[in-house]
Amino acid sequence: MKRFVFLSVVLSSALKGLASLQSNKTELTPEKLEAVITQEGLKRNLFELDSIGQQNNGNRAYGTTGYAASSDYVLSQVKDSKNDDGFFTTWTQTFNHTYEETRNISVTGPDGEDVPVLSLMYNNATPLPGGVTGELAALPVDDVRGSGCFEDQWTSVNVTGKLALVKRGTCAISDKLKLAKTRGALGVILFHNTNSTPNAATLGAENIGLNAPVGLISLQIGESWRSRISANETLTATLLVDSIFEPRSTWNVFVETAEGDENNVIMLGAHLDSVQAGPGINDDGSGVTAQIEIIKALRGFRGIKNKIRFAFWGAEEAGLVGSLFYTSSLTSSEADKIRFYYNYDMIGSIEPVYGIYAGDNPGDKVGAQLLLDYLVAKGKPAYFGSFGTGSDYVGFLELGIPSSGIHTGGGVPADPCYHLVCDTYDNINWGALEVNTKAAARAAAVLALDVSNVPPRNVTSVNPASGRMVRELFQEALWEGVKVEAASAHTCALETKRVV
Ligand SMILES: *[C@@H]1O[C@H](CO)[C@@H](O)[C@H](O)[C@H]1NC(C)=O
Ligand SMILES: *[C@@H]1O[C@H](CO)[C@@H](O)[C@H](O)[C@H]1NC(C)=O
Ligand SMILES: *[C@@H]1O[C@H](CO)[C@@H](O)[C@H](O)[C@H]1NC(C)=O
Ligand SMILES: *[C@@H]1O[C@H](CO)[C@@H](O)[C@H](O)[C@H]1NC(C)=O
Ligand SMILES: *[C@@H]1O[C@H](CO)[C@@H](O)[C@H](O)[C@H]1NC(C)=O
Ligand SMILES: *[C@@H]1O[C@H](CO)[C@@H](O)[C@H](O)[C@H]1NC(C)=O
Ligand SMILES: [Zn+2]
């Protein structure tokens, strides 16, 4: 009895505490949520993520300490111990993937010179310590069919025992490297297809062992070697690739509002990993800071009718591995409950475009329109663009879940530091990041208050086995490498760019 009284006192004061917390909160409206987002908050997180990159070998790639520190940072921000009133639930989801690291790469040119060279993810090693030395055999360059993309393009040159000189573009690099290997090339010197700084890409874990080793050099050097060869000079070069592969564990991080209907969930996603080449501040620290600030802003509100679930994806740069793991492990009824998915990958490009994803699913436009209307009202040249295969929306589209998102562009001129060491704190257009985060906050709030205008997931879309298809994509991603073209085509771009 006494104990009961004591308990009820404790309980009632606890309830009073909760009630006073709740009463401090404002009723959620899109306008009020948007108003809480500040550039200062967005900057603070990116400053921290940049520092994490600098303190962890220059990157925040999956399977590294930089990723673990990024994950800790997100959790430290959203949990906010001072203010933890059970407003959010957080959890992680662990999966395994083949980690790759190029420990050393070098190209020695025909005149004994050290040539600037970039590795690609899942690059195959050359014999060590000397690498491979051979005559450079120039593959023909065809503006339409590319260089070394098709079997017949390899018949006019004998590359056996030589280093094939191939131009980037038109097909996946791994297509070129597989042909080079089957034709007996020692390796491939791949030269870039634009005048900009060559940027890294993934060859896909599924191609481990099938590709010839590769080094990526500039267009200018590649062209100069080609012209010397066509003037009948015999050029010799050396390629050294020292790379390792091993399975490593990594994880997705989730944060979800405690409040809201669990049968009608609005999801937002941004990938938390960077490429190994740099700290990944626009790609995709920009989406990560946006989500952190929206989460913090939501703390001040009540009246969230539909749950909001934020995903911070792991191993996106290796081929959308984390988001495919998540979507493939959803049951059909769990997938039904996800009413909309917004993808935020690269939303602060220095010379931004304002691309808004919208596909064929009629539900896409409902969420996409919210983003478009806001950005247009703010004077931005926003436009609808189609999905590609370049970011974490792929698994959601496979499940027929209405989806959208913002993408501000990669490569010159939008983001000249795309996948490079210079994707740092200085590589952000703060105005663009702020307006896009506000658009994202607003759209999330609109749908969290009322999602009745969004049609249910199209279970008959894609194919009857869409769930199975995602699962198959993932199984291959996990155990044999990512079969999905995204692996070799990852650009985070709006349009599918099947060229890496
Ligand atoms: C709630 O409001 C009261 C009175 O204005 C204030 O003392 C208290 O710190 C507020 N609590 C929170 C969690 O903001
Ligand atoms: C990852 O690999 C480890 C070690 O092989 C294993 O114990 C674990 O169950 C794997 N995790 C998953 C999610 O498959
Ligand atoms: C990388 O390889 C080059 C060429 O063999 C060698 O000179 C250099 O010392 C190596 N660097 C490292 C860090 O192992
Ligand atoms: C290509 O070159 C290799 C090595 O020089 C030689 O053994 C092979 O016969 C050549 N193949 C053709 C088809 O000429
Ligand atoms: C290169 O050699 C080929 C065949 O030996 C010859 O036809 C061509 O004229 C030569 N080109 C130059 C630029 O010397
Ligand atoms: C669902 O997807 C199928 C196949 O793409 C399409 O034919 C159908 O019109 C879609 N239904 C709705 C309601 O969007
Ligand atoms: Zn990205």
Average pLDDT by consecutive 10-residue portion of the chain (500 residues)? 42 50 83 98 98 98 97 91 74 93 96 96 95 98 94 96 97 96 98 89 87 97 98 98 94 97 98 95 98 96 97 93 95 96 98 95 96 98 92 94 96 91 97 98 98 93 51 43 32 34
Cβ(232) – ligand 5 distance below 6 Å: yes
Q: What is the DSSP string of 353-392?
A: -EEEE--SSHHHHHHHHHHHHHHHHTT--EEEE---SSST
Cβ(231) – ligand 5 distance below 6 Å: yes
CA of 228 to the centre of ligand 5 (A): 12
Token match 């004077």: residue?
Answer: 379
Residues 6+ apart with CB under 8 A from 134: 161, 162, 163, 186, 187, 236, 237
3-state secondary structure of 206: helix
Q: What's the confidence (pLDDT) of residue 242?
A: 97
AA letter at 42:
L
Q: How far is CA 163 from CA 131, 183, 219, 235, 461, in A?
A: 11, 11, 17, 10, 46
- What the block records as the tokens of 121 is 């993810």
In angstroms, rounded to a whole number, what is the distance separating the alpha carbons of residues 357 and 376?
A: 15
Ligand 2 pocket: which of 62, 95, 249 to mutate (most atoms within 8 A of CB)? 249
How many residues in the chain?
A: 500
Neighbour-count burial for 462-494, b at 16+ CB within 10 Å, e otherwise: beeebbebbbebbebbbeebbbbbbbbbbbbbb
Atom of ligand 5 nearest to the CA of 231: 13
CA of 96 to the centre of ligand 2 (A): 6
3-state secondary structure of 484: coil
CA of 101 to the centre of ligand 3 (A): 15
**Residues within 6 Å of ligand 2 by CB:** 94-96, 249
- What the block records as the tokens of 65 is 């300490």
Q: What's the confidence (pLDDT) of residue 487?
A: 33
Please give the helix or strand (H or E) that residue 155 lies within, else none.
none
Atom of ligand 6 nearest to the CA of 362: 14
Q: Please, what are the domains in the chain? A: 29-87+258-492 (3.40.630.10), 103-243 (3.50.30.30)
Catalytic residues, which ones? 316
In angstroms, rounded to a whole number, what is the distance separating the alpha carbons of residues 282 and 330?
A: 29
- Omega cis (within 30) before 284: yes
Ligand 3 pocket: which of 57, 102, 104, 244 to mutate (most atoms within 8 A of CB)? 104
CA angle 263–269–270, rounded 5-degree value: 165
Q: What's the confidence (pLDDT) of residue 21?
A: 55
Q: What's the confidence (pLDDT) of residue 422?
A: 96
Cβ(65) – ligand 6 distance below 6 Å: no
Q: What is the pTM of this model?
A: 0.80
Q: Atom 13 in ligand 3: which residue has the minimum CA distance? A: 104
Q: What's the confidence (pLDDT) of residue 2?
A: 37
